[in-house]
Structure 1
Amino acid sequence: MRRRSLLLAAVPAGLVTLAGCGDGSSESSKASASPSASPSSVPPPKIVDGPLPAITAGTKFGEKPTVAKGTGEPSKNLAVRTAIAGSGRAIAENDFIVANYLGQIWATAKVFDNSYDRKAPLVMQLAQGSLIDGWRYALAGKKAGSRIEMAVPPTWGYGKAGNPDAGIKGTDTLVFVVDLVDSFNSKSSSKGKPVAQNDASLPKIGTETDGSAPSVDIQQPDPPKKLVSNYVLEGDGPEVKASQTILCQFQGLVWKKGNKGKPFVATYGTGRLSQLSLEQMQQVVKGLTDGVTGKKVGSRVLIVVPPDQGYGDNPPSGSPIKKDSTLVFTVDILAAM
């Protein structure tokens, strides 16, 4: 079971899931507690330039940094410095970020957490209640591709309670170095290369990448009997594993000739993204998990799910899905965690 980040405060907001699949929050941990967010009554911090300890090694973007011990008293305000300026999209509140980071205690330089050793960036939402407020305020407005160093006082970190599991006291100021790999919002789409759709027996899927729902054109009356999982846009990221949770845009439709886009569930245009736990989805719509597994991050995938790998004879109550329906999904795989 993967180690949950110490930064996460709660289940991220803005989740959209299929009926019965859960909320995507299954990422638990025996190694660390899930800290509470800073109280909402705490006013925004004043952001200052320092003091901040020097980054003494691993100074390039993406390299694991080594950070000196803090000297003297840290600021009571939130200290933030852009060590490397990126040129990507500016990050706003409620965006999801993909980031590598290292965190240590100011007074001792003890590293309490880092993602570099795990060789997997963390995906999280920059939202109140999702992660410590120091990150929210320090990273808002920063651009993807940037390296940010910050010193977070307890008020905007773990508060007076600290985080005993991580060895963090309620009086500790924390130093973070954060590499902002990428960011996504509700208007994000996959940006992979279009793949030819030559099979006339399958739905034709749109390749628009403006965050709107891709068009779906079902012209055949009879669906395939076996699971179909085809690239519409092929990305160049790592292949998704069945144990992961994906950050995505998706829509689901019932196979019916002439259906050109009447989904029973969708994220496109809703102002939200979805975090789908593939392990949980395996228990609900097995074909969706199987269809995503092995596909590359950054892709749009057409998945056709036959009844025996979908809802079969037990569709969700009150939904337009009938017994023994074949389902059609388009999934934009933005990130995997």
Structure 2
Amino acid sequence: MRRTLAISAFIALSLAACGGSETSTPVSLPPAEGAADSAPETTVPEDLCVPVGGEAPEPDIAAPEVLETNPDKPEIDIPTEAPTELDRTVLEEGSGDAAEAGDTVIVDYAGVRSSDGLPFDNSYDRGEPFPVVLGQGGVIEGWDVGLIGSQTGERVQLDIPSAQAYGEVARSNIICENEDLTFVIDVRAVVKAVDPGDVPTEPGVELSKDPGVDDTVFEDLVVGDGEVLEIDDTAVIRYVNFRGDTGEVLETSWDADPLQVVYGENLLPGLLEGMEGLAVGGRRAITVPPEDGFGEEGSPDAGLPAGTDMIFVVELIGKY
């Protein structure tokens, strides 16, 4: 499926965060079976580990911009005793669908050692929420299990024993061998697994007639019942882009991680206008003339001839 238009329409112009930068996210590196024996190069010698009560080293965060102060970053109360089993504490209730295995949760998180609260990583300072597909083994077991049942807007604390984190494998000079970990996690959105039968294969509205539409027009295919999208919100979306005159699919994001895009003037004018008033849970068909899209020249290499309308079908999964 072509993706060149997706880069122009959403990713390059308005990417909020979707794994785009190289960052230190140890939670995303689950230990393989037998890793303590088969991968000694990943083990940090005990004498290099920061002792309990020691001072944290400077964070190794590779990102274009690091936010010096983020008011959303939580303070973390560590457990009074070392966790012997996964302890899940909801600090703030969420709403909507509960996350199940196979769903994607988009989260911000901060992680510390349970023993002394020494921080090792967080997404808030990077300004990059982190998408996690549950039940796939792509994160440590404490997350894979502990985020089941989460809802959009929830803040949850996970106190994770080392056996459900990295066990005997050290990951850094803070995450040492047999280290218990504590996370506070803000669930930005719960994205249900894609049902192949629910993927739009046609625009759902009348195709453009020569010479096409004069201005951007839109029609709600599904009316959302959640919060309404506002300027500067980060929208969590899926979309399919159709050629306006034939209905041919130009490109789609439906089979990939949900896009997180800032709803503002950096979007194509047709998308900025066409997404106005869209509510979470809604699906909308937006017909965009060339002047509100990529211009009269179109993008022939991507299958969009000159002077041709586009029809975006956009589903708003969540916002924050």
TM-score (norm 2): 0.59
Aligned to 1:254: 243
The structure-2 alpha-carbon separation of the partners of 1:286 and 1:276, relative to structure 1 and needing over 3 Å to count, comes to: farther
CA contact (8 A) 1:154 1:160 kept: no
For the pair 1:217 / 2:225, whether they are aligned, the reply is: no
Partners of 1:277 and 1:88 lie apart in 2 by: 22
For the pair 1:134 / 2:142, whether they are aligned, the reply is: yes
What aligned pairs does 1:189-204 form with structure 2 within 5 A after superposition? none
Q: Pick the aligned partner of 1:333 from 310, 316, 319.
A: 316
CA contact (8 A) 1:69 1:108 kept: yes
Partners of 1:41 and 1:230 lie apart in 2 by: 48
Q: How far has the Cα of 1:184 moved from its partner?
A: 1.8
CA contact (8 A) 1:106 1:174 kept: yes
Partners of 2:186 and 2:17 lie apart in 1 by: 22
1:48-79 Cα distance to aligned partner (Å, 9 max, x none): xxxxxxxxxxxxxxxx998754334444xx62
Aligned to 1:310: 293
Identity of aligned residues (%): 20
For the pair 1:241 / 2:231, whether they are aligned, the reply is: yes
Aligned to 1:41: 32
- Give the residue type in structure 2 aligned to 1:79: L
For the pair 1:160 / 2:170, whether they are aligned, the reply is: yes
Partners of 2:151 and 2:233 lie apart in 1 by: 27
CA contact (8 A) 2:243 2:310 kept: yes
Stretch moving more, 98-107 or 225-234: 98-107
Aligned to 2:251: 265
Aligned residues: 264
Aligned to 2:7: 20
Partners of 2:199 and 2:295 lie apart in 1 by: 30
Q: Pick the aligned partner of 2:100 from 86, 91, 96.
A: 91
RMSD: 4.9
- Give the residue type in structure 1 aligned to 2:316: I
1:242-270 Cα distance to aligned partner (Å, 9 max, x none): 563x33221222222xx4x43222345x4
CA contact (8 A) 1:278 1:289 kept: no
Aligned to 2:116: 108
1:211-248 Cα distance to aligned partner (Å, 9 max, x none): 3316233274443222234544244314243563x332
For the pair 1:150 / 2:158, whether they are aligned, the reply is: yes
CA contact (8 A) 2:290 2:308 kept: yes
The structure-2 alpha-carbon separation of the partners of 1:26 and 1:130, relative to structure 1 and needing over 3 Å to count, comes to: farther
Stretch moving more, 18-27 or 226-235: 18-27
CA contact (8 A) 1:240 1:292 kept: no
TM-score (norm 1): 0.57
The structure-2 alpha-carbon separation of the partners of 1:149 and 1:254, relative to structure 1 and needing over 3 Å to count, comes to: same
Aligned to 1:71: 80
CA contact (8 A) 1:301 1:331 kept: yes
CA contact (8 A) 1:234 1:300 kept: yes
What's the secondary structure of 2:170's corresponding residue? helix
What's the secondary structure of 1:264's corresponding residue? strand
1:139-186 Cα distance to aligned partner (Å, 9 max, x none): 34x364888653235673697344x8xxx5546522235576752234
What's the secondary structure of 2:158's corresponding residue? strand
- Structure 2 portions without partners, runs of 5+: 36-72
CA contact (8 A) 1:281 1:288 kept: no
- Give the residue type in structure 1 aligned to 2:170: K
- Give the residue type in structure 2 aligned to 1:124: P
- Give the residue type in structure 2 aligned to 1:318: D
The structure-2 alpha-carbon separation of the partners of 1:235 and 1:111, relative to structure 1 and needing over 3 Å to count, comes to: farther
Partners of 1:108 and 1:254 lie apart in 2 by: 57
- Structure 1 portions without partners, runs of 5+: 1-15, 45-63, 190-209
Q: How far has the Cα of 1:309 moved from its partner?
A: 2.4
Partners of 2:295 and 2:243 lie apart in 1 by: 13
